[in-house]
């Protein structure tokens, strides 16, 4: 972590798409949220390139930078 920021640019999150649709952004939560509806929401944001259409079989790789001050 440098200057209050951390990113996953060297180890992007990978999502295997199994249905056609449109993605527009992301959200970051703690582990307790997986499979449930409780937990901590750390942040959310739109993709800088706008929305993205995806098809069954696509692979979406996401890099994010989180900053705190």
Most distant CA pair in the chain, distance: 39
**Residues 5, 23: Cα–Cα separation, whole Å:** 25
Which residue from 68, 28, 27, 22 is spatially nearest to 49, judged by alpha carbons?
22
Size of the chain in residues: 69
Token duo for residue 16: 């295997």
Q: What was the pLDDT predicted at 53?
A: 96
Q: What was the pLDDT predicted at 24?
A: 95
pLDDT digits (tens, 9 = 90+) for 1-58: 668 898 899 999 999 999 999 999 998 888 877 777 788 888 888 998 999 999 999 9
| DSSP notation for 27-43 | EEE-GGGTTSS-S-EEE
């Amino acid at each position: 972590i440098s200057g209050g920021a951390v990113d996953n640019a060297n180890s992007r999150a990978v999502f295997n798409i199994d249905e056609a649709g449109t993605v527009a952004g992301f959200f970051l939560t703690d582990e307790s949220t997986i499979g449930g509806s409780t937990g901590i929401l750390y942040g959310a944001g739109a993709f800088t390139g706008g929305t993205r259409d995806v098809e069954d079989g696509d692979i979406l790789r996401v890099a994010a930078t989180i900053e705190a001050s």
